[in-house]
Structure 1
Amino acid sequence: METDINRLKVVLAEKKRTNKWLCEQLNVNPSTVSKWCTNSSQPDLETLVKISHLLDVELGDLVNKKFIDSQQINQASDL
């Protein structure tokens, strides 16, 4: 089962914000934010930092911990 990389959709809902609000704040296309929210593409690190400031959350709150753990396991097994 594939793990979602970011938690943007969840955090937006928790903060009672919409995709439209975020695309207006970042001056990006609504389809871009939609792709981020469905995890079909990912924002770059600089954009994630901007999003964390806009939503007043820690950067780590936007990233799925299970994805990070699985990446660390994969990297360790490559050693």
Structure 2
Amino acid sequence: MVEKRTLNRIKSVLADKDKTNLWLAEKLGKNKSTISKWCTNDQQPTLETLFDIAEALEVNVCELLISKKKM
């Protein structure tokens, strides 16, 4: 079985900010199922969208990414 890699921390940052997937979907004008796929790392947002997410959550884009040092 192939192990799924965790590439982003969107779900964790949403929780830290007391925000929901639905809130982020509405803020970005995206479908809530798309946000869910990002949060579960089934899909990844584009680099441009990652910056939009960081802006919406008022964090540095680096906080949304998993560092190889932590892996």
Answer whether TM exceeds 0.5 for this pair. yes
5+ residue gaps in structure 1? Answer: 70-79
**2:36 aligned partner:** 34
**1:77 aligned partner:** none
**2:7 aligned partner:** 5
Q: Identity across aligned pairs (percent)?
A: 49
SS in 2 for 1:11: helix
**TM-score, length-normalised on structure 1?**
0.80
- 1:30 Cα deviation after fit: 0.6
Structure with max Cα Rg: 1
Deviation sequence 1:1-26 (CA, Å, 0-9, x none): 54300000000000000000000001
Aligned length: 67
**Partner Cα distance (1:22, 1:40) in 2:** 17
CA RMSD between the two structures: 1.2
5+ residue gaps in structure 2? Answer: none
**TM-score, length-normalised on structure 2?**
0.88
